[in-house]
Amino acid sequence: MLVDFLFELRKDGLKVSSHEWLALMEAMDLGLHDSSLDGFYRLARTVCVKDVADYDAFDRAFARYFAGVTEAALAMTKDLEAWLADPRQLAQLTDEQIAQLRRLGLDELRALYEQRLKEQKERHDGGNRWIGTGGTSPFGSNGKNPTGMRVGGGGGRSAMAVAGERRYQEYRRDIVLDVRQIDVALRGLRKLGRDGADEELDLDETVDETCKNAGDLELVFRPPRRNRVKVILMMDVGGSMDPHAELASRLFTAASRAGRFAKFRSYYFHNCVYEHVYEDAHFTKRVAVADLISHSDKDEKLVMLGDALMHPAELLDPGGSYSYVAGSRSPGVEWLRRLSTHFRRSAWLNPEPDRYWAGSTIEVIAALFPMYQLTLDGLAAAVRYLVRGGQRPSIANPTQWAKAGA
């Protein structure tokens, strides 16, 4: 009966496999959903959602599919209240059950609580007497008793309220990133290899060699696995990048963490790269781009960060730099072409929404560098491209960056 819910999840982009769905059915058969909609919500999200970024899509599908269930439950509750209000029905209950339905005075409730507290020796869940969770006891939390007193955490909220509130909207993939999300995405760039001195015990080879020696122990060592990826990050600063300064700082923080790459270098430029880039944002430590290219291996990953927006003359005209000091005999587009040609894999991360890319200098630069919007999907696609290559995104189809490298 819940097969339609599976297709509802897939409609919102959740990749729920048949294996995961069968696991959910098995978990329900074991009663792990507590025979409640709230329990099913938690269980289904645990089994079917593999990434916190998909929580929002799950909540949308859940709220849409189970819409109206809450109203039906309320109608059933009213029927039960009417049943309990009928004296003829209450005649079938025991004296203790009738007593629990009566409203207790505050003083009596406190006295009863102190008595139970003295008598109870262990944790208790459910039931109608002891202090604990669930059930109809007047004492505890997450239970149901109109005259009870709460002990511990507050009462639960319905799954429909949680799904309708959609507390996880900040995890959607079409938003900008925090440091943790960037850090997780950049891990995809790692390429582990073994080099250096033999410092690590190779257990499999040790067992094989020991067997060949008729049981005489033969220890075999190997070099440890190390990350071999080298990354160069060039960042546009100032001017139109000022609104994106915080996002750029997050990317730099995640990329520059110790041990993330075998070698990491970062440089700054303004609007466009010319004859020099700079090791500091104050532009006091300059590095010739020609020297940087000649001393960089072709297999290093070049990541450009900038909005790629500028006056066309700054990009296309010789000496078009914003600064006469940084003026260049070659236009900025030529220096960008040299960089993109030298490195086998490079990518440009753009914080500007992709709907503004066409018809500007962004379009010219995107012809040289595979360009990706700086969102969770965009960064993931850029990392995939840097690692595996694949189809380059096209400005003519701005949504293509989300699929590039898949």
Same domain, 158 and 265: no
- Confidence (pLDDT) at 330: 83
- Confidence (pLDDT) at 389: 83
Same domain, 236 and 87: no
pLDDT tier at 172, thresholds 50, 70, 90: very low
Higher pLDDT, 202 or 49: 49
Q: 403: which 2 tokens?
A: 């699929």
Residue 47 in any domain: the answer is: yes
Same domain, 232 and 168: no
pLDDT exceeds 70 at position 386: yes
Same domain, 164 and 310: no
What is the residue type of 18? S
pLDDT exceeds 50 at position 88: yes
Residue 139 in any domain: the answer is: no
Same domain, 168 and 285: no
- Confidence (pLDDT) at 118: 58
Report the C-alpha gap between 56 and 60 in whole angstroms.
Answer: 6
In percent, the amount of the chain with pLDDT more than 90 equals 17
Question: What residues make up the domain containing 32?
Answer: 1-102+151-172
- Confidence (pLDDT) at 194: 43
Positive or negative, the CA dihedral 265, 270, 276, 278 is: negative
Higher pLDDT, 237 or 110: 237
149 close to 138: Cβ distance less than 8 angstroms: yes
pLDDT in tens, 275-306: 999 998 888 899 999 999 999 999 899 999 99
- Confidence (pLDDT) at 401: 38
Same domain, 165 and 296: no
pLDDT exceeds 70 at position 140: no
Structural domains in the chain (count)? 2
Residue 165 in any domain: the answer is: yes
pLDDT exceeds 80 at position 3: yes
31 exposed, middle or buried (CB, 10 Å; 0-12, 13-18, 19+)? exposed
Three-state SS sequence of the chain? CCHHHHHHHHHCCCCCCHHHHHHHHHHHHCCCCCCCHHHHHHHHHHHHCCCHHHHHHHHHHHHHHCCCHHHHHHHHHHHHHHHHCCHHHHCCCCHHHHHHHCCCCHHHHHHHHHHHHHHCCCCCECCCCCCEECCCCCEEECCCCCCCEECCCCCCCCHHHHHHHCCCHHHCCCCCCCHHHHHHHHHHHCCEEECCCCCEECHHHHHHHHHHCCCCCCCCEECCEEECCEEEEEEECCHHHHHHHHHHHHHHHHHCCCCCCCEEEEEEEECECCCEEECCCCCCCEEEHHHHHHCCCCCCEEEEECCCCCCHHHHHCCCCCCCCCCCCCCCHHHHHHHHHHHCCEEEEEECCCHHHCCCCHHHHHHCCCCEEECCHHHHHHHHHHHHHCCCCCCCCCHHHHHCCCC
User: CATH number, domain at 330?
Assistant: 3.40.50
> Nearest Cα to 304, choosing from 235, 243, 401?
235
Residue 134 in any domain: the answer is: no
pLDDT exceeds 50 at position 402: no
pLDDT in tens, 311-356: 888 888 887 665 545 556 788 999 999 999 999 999 999 999 888 8
* Final residue belonging to a domain, choices 142, 172, 202: 172
> Nearest Cα to 124, choosing from 136, 108, 106?
136
pLDDT in tens, 32-45: 888 788 888 889 89
Mean pLDDT for the chain overall: 74
Residue 263 in any domain: the answer is: yes
Same domain, 159 and 235: no
Same domain, 166 and 285: no
Same domain, 86 and 232: no
Residue 236 in any domain: the answer is: yes
In this prediction the pTM is: 0.53
CA 284 and chain centroid, separation: 37
- Confidence (pLDDT) at 404: 40
Same domain, 29 and 163: yes
Residue 354 in any domain: the answer is: yes
- Confidence (pLDDT) at 262: 79
Q: Which residues contact 153 (CB under 8 A, 6 or more apart)?
A: 141, 142
Residue 198 in any domain: the answer is: no
pLDDT in tens, 230-283: 899 999 998 888 888 888 888 888 887 756 777 889 999 998 999 999 998 888
Same domain, 23 and 89: yes
Report the C-alpha gap between 184 and 311 in whole angstroms.
Answer: 35
Q: Which range (42-51, 168-177, 331-340) has the least confidence?
A: 168-177
Task: Name the range with the highest mean pLDDT among 79-88, 102-111, 261-270.
Answer: 261-270
Same domain, 162 and 303: no
Q: Beta 345-350 vs 371-373: how paired, if at all? A: parallel
Report the C-alpha gap between 183 and 1 in whole angstroms.
Answer: 41
Task: Name the range with the highest mean pLDDT among 11-25, 69-83, 218-232.
Answer: 11-25
